[in-house]
Amino acid sequence: MMSDRDYTLIIDKSGSMSTPDQVGGRSRWEMAQESTLALARKCEQFDPDGITIYVFAGKFKRYDDVTSAKVAQIFLENDPGGTTNLAGVLKDATNHYFQRKAAGQAKPNGETILVITDGEPDDRKAVFEVIINASRQMERDEELGISLIQIGSDPQATKFLKALDDQMQDIGAKFDICDTITLDDLEDMSLADVLMNAVTD
């Protein structure tokens, strides 16, 4: 359930996120902004502190305690450009959770990390390693969940997400903490709907 859980949203801002292939000719980046706003509003009902947001390309930046009022500013400060270093940002986000947990600052029901991405990461193997390492620090299955949501239709991204969904435990993850949603799964749902579903699961 949403209460007593923390939410982190990781948004890809690599160059391809400026592609205008979304409903109404909007870019993937514009869709991400709309959906982020909807998610922040939803989470505020349960957690007035707001959510953690990362934007990443080659490097990443973390924004803490983001309420819906702060979302527009983040998108103004960031423009799509660069590569897709997903491993780096995911490592920071998972470490951040375990540090807070160790310090007694994590919520009792753990954390959900949502990732909006449109391409295959620069280093697939590094992403697998980050997820395996995170799963090995967990005490119970539900405490940490990572949902990766594909925006756009890059077939390599779809392939990568399928591998994350299906192979993590075969290659050493202690728990199956990844859940991936590809374009095919979206069908008639908007990105905002998908985010809502991921947080209310």
Q: Which residue's structure tokens are 């890809």? A: 12
3-state secondary structure 68-112: HHHHHHHHHHCCCCCCCCHHHHHHHHHHHHHHHHHCCCCCCCCEE
Looking at residue 15, its pLDDT comes to 97
Distances (CA, A) of 82 to 18, 120, 199: 11, 13, 29
Q: How far apart are the first and last CA of the chain?
A: 7
Q: pLDDT averaged over consecutive 10-residue blocks of the chain (201 residues)?
A: 83 97 93 92 86 97 95 96 97 97 93 95 95 95 93 92 85 88 74 82 62
Q: Return mean pLDDT, the chain.
A: 91
**pLDDT score of 28:** 95
The DSSP line for the chain is --TT-EEEEEEE-SGGGG---SGGG--HHHHHHHHHHHHHHHHHHH-TT-EEEEEESSSEEEEEEE-HHHHHHHHHH----S---HHHHHHHHHHHHHHHHHTT-S-TT-EEEEEEE-S--S-HHHHHHHHHHHHHT-SSGGGEEEEEEE-S--HHHHHHHHHHHHHTTTTT-SS--EEEE-HHHHTT--HHHHHHHHHH-
pLDDT tens per residue across span 33-47:
999 999 999 888 888
Domains of the chain: which residue ranges?
6-123+133-154
Calpha distance 29→75 (Å, rounded): 9
* Residues forming a β-bridge with 148: 115, 180
What's the pLDDT at 1? 52
pLDDT value, residue 2: 63
Task: Indicate yes or no: pTM above 0.85.
Answer: yes
Kind of pairing between the strands at 144-150 and 51-56:
unpaired
At the fourth CATH level, the homologous superfamily of domain 6-123+133-154 is von Willebrand factor, type A domain (3.40.50.410)
Question: What tokens were used for 102?
Answer: 């160790």
Give the model's pLDDT for residue 201.
62
